[in-house]
Structure 1
Amino acid sequence: MDAVILAAGEGTRLRPLTNDRPKGMVEIDDRPILADCFDQLRALGADAFHVVVGYRKEDIISHFGDEYAGIPITYAHQREQAGLAHALLTVEDRIDDDFMLILGDNVFRANLEDVVMRQHEDRADAAFLVEEIPWEEASRYGVCDTNEFGEITAVVEKPDDPPSNLVMTGFYTFSPSIFHACHLVQPSDRGEYELSDAIDLLLHSGRTIDAIPINGWRIDVGYPEDRDEAERRLRTASKPEQS
């Protein structure tokens, strides 16, 4: 699979860390977040990286160039911050098969391979990692609505009154059908073309989407304290166990 990395955001909530760099270039344990994303995707067998850039895009392009660890990189420019569905459409002409998608401000140490394996089973049009979080935090994310059997029936982006505390985590696999759904999405109340709305359209058209519970951890680096927590966890994980 190819991999798409969304890294166009300005990261206003991460200031002052993003005063002089894009969000994906904020360092965790002395490395840009994007480098960690690339490593995770490389371990999953990514054939190519397609990076969607925007704010201070030159910083990303000049740092990584046209390859990472032997894997080719292409860049697509999202000229306005109009939502994740809008960002994904910038690479539509480069994708002709199932692909991985990761949000370039997330740090994962989790079962991403389970999502990829589910997509390879050829029964799903999409799969994504989900996580139960505290209710008071759910309004920050794409929230999954479920039925009495625990099956996902809808997703909604950053709702004021979340229907559940089960949220999408920022790692997905899709078939190219997602692009058609992205074209159909209308601007949300926030004025953005939401990826969660495109996923919801797939659900309501009868497409099969599988949600994989997270096994491990992930941190959405939205605020400076999130960067600090991700760094703490990575450093703790790298310490040798005491006998």
Structure 2
Amino acid sequence: MEAIVLAGGLGTRLRSVVNNVPKPMAPIGNKPFLDYIFFYLKKNNIKKVILAVGYKNEIIKHRYGNKYLGIDIEYSIEEEQLGTGGAINQAFKFIDEKESFIINGDTFFYVDLNEMYQFHIKNNADLTIAVKPMKNFERYGKVIDNNNKIEKFTEKEKSKKGNINGGIYILNKEYINSLDLPKVFSFEKDIMEKNVNKDNFIAYKSDTYFIDIGIPEDYNKAQKELEQKI
């Protein structure tokens, strides 16, 4: 199996605690956050990773090179900011298989990737999204589904409970290649929200450990928790 890891984040909301490195390279203990993602991918038998990089990508390339933990690595480099969609679309040029996992480089979600993949195939999905059940949250929008078929994405608001987008996807290469896409676009707005009612988007629910290091509060929480989760 192959995975695209979105590692081009600027980390603007983390600048008060992390400076001068791409967000996925923010240190957790004595290791970059991206190390934990690689440990997780190795456990899940991912053989090849495409790192979609931009901001200060030389820091990432210097640490991981062309192989890390036995995982082959290639780099999809943004010469300009392409948005999440543009970064994914460009990275797919390096994908050899019919589909690929896509992993956000600033979240850690302990999903069983093999089980998620089987679920994706069983449902003949164009896109499968790993969703996390949550209670009492406001940082995230909700993924609304009917028997796992996604019907709607809601905006961020205070919610007592719901399923959030956990930042892990399986996307079919044939599907994304069939779309007429600009060079710069948002994956969330221009693919997920735009096509949810006409294409086969499936929610894979996993109530496993999840953390998003995008804000200082959760970044500090990761310092205390993440080492124990690997």
Change (3 A) 1:223 1:206: closer
Q: What whole-Å deviation, never above 9, does each CA across 1:113-164 have from its counterpart, x for those lacking one? A: 4312213436222222112334542xx44532345x67421235xx255898
User: C-alpha root-mean-square deviation of aligned residues, in Å?
Assistant: 2.8
SS in 1 for 2:142: strand
Change (3 A) 1:135 1:124: same
Q: Match for residue 213 of structure 2?
A: 221
Q: Match for residue 241 of structure 1?
A: none
SS in 2 for 1:40: helix
> What is the CA-CA distance between 1:52 and the residue it aligns to?
0.5
Change (3 A) 1:181 1:220: farther
2: distance between equivalents of 1:136 and 1:237?
22
TM-score (norm. length: structure 2): 0.85
2: distance between equivalents of 1:27 and 1:118?
34
Q: Is the 8 A contact 1:49 1:73 kept in 2?
A: yes
Q: How does 1:152-171 map to 2 (within 5 A)?
A: 152-155=150-153, 159=155, 165-171=162-168
> What is the CA-CA distance between 1:185 and the residue it aligns to?
7.1
**1:144 counterpart = 2:143:** yes
1: distance between equivalents of 2:149 and 2:101?
22
Paired amino acid for 1:25: M
Paired amino acid for 1:168: N
The size of the alignment, in residue pairs, is 228
2: distance between equivalents of 1:40 and 1:161?
30
**1:127 counterpart = 2:125:** no
2: distance between equivalents of 1:182 and 1:58?
32
TM-score (norm. length: structure 1): 0.80
Segments of 5+ residues of structure 2 without an aligned counterpart are none
2: distance between equivalents of 1:123 and 1:114?
14
Give the % identical residues: 28
Q: Match for residue 88 of structure 1?
A: 88
Q: Match for residue 108 of structure 1?
A: 109
